[in-house]
Amino acid sequence: MSVAQANHQATRTNAANGDVRIKSLIGLIDVLIALVADENAELAKGLPASRLKQVDEKNRLAEIFERTVAECAAGTATLNVRDRILREQLLDRIFKLRAAMDENLVRLRAAIEASSRRIEAVMQAIREQIAAVSPYGASGRVAAHAVSSGTSRSV
């Protein structure tokens, strides 16, 4: 095998490995998109963010995705995509993931705000209940309760 043939074979092997890595990344992104879409549907129903079953898996996959992106940004890994169709698929998935994550962010913020309002309503009800039965006034002093006194005449 000549040097040129060896270089050509190495290039083809690297391209094949790159294609496998890209296909794997596309698969990861597809799963992330599906998880985020499920989470968004649950949030749209009004479920609190703390009760969502997708959170752990979404975080695990997002960490893998972020690590891959960080490796590419640092130059320790490359995603050379020679196949135009594969490159377009990857870009399409990245745009879809971004749109799903943008929606997820909006829905999560709304869920957090709704949870805060529910907590505040419960706390207000507790404060009102405590105030109604507390012997102390707002100043911290014993509240003077209006007491009616009358005379009772017995014959």
User: What pLDDT is stored for residue 154 in this prediction?
Assistant: 59
Boundaries of domain holding 112: 3-133
Residue 41 lies in a domain: yes
Residue 106 lies in a domain: yes
List, for residues 6-61, the tens digit of each pLDDT value: 444 544 545 556 688 889 999 999 999 999 999 999 888 887 766 677 788 888 99
Domain count, the chain: 1
SS (H, E, C) the chain: CCHHHHHHHHHHHHHHHHHHHHHHHHHHHHHHHHHHHHHHHHHHCCCCHHHCCCHHHHHHHHHHHHHHHHHHHHCCCCCCCCCHHHHHHHHHHHHHHHHHHHHHHHHHHHHHHHHHHHHHHHHHHHHHHHHHHCCECCCCCECCCCCCCCCCCCC
Residue 146 lies in a domain: no
Residue 93 lies in a domain: yes
Q: Is this structure's pTM higher than 0.75?
A: no
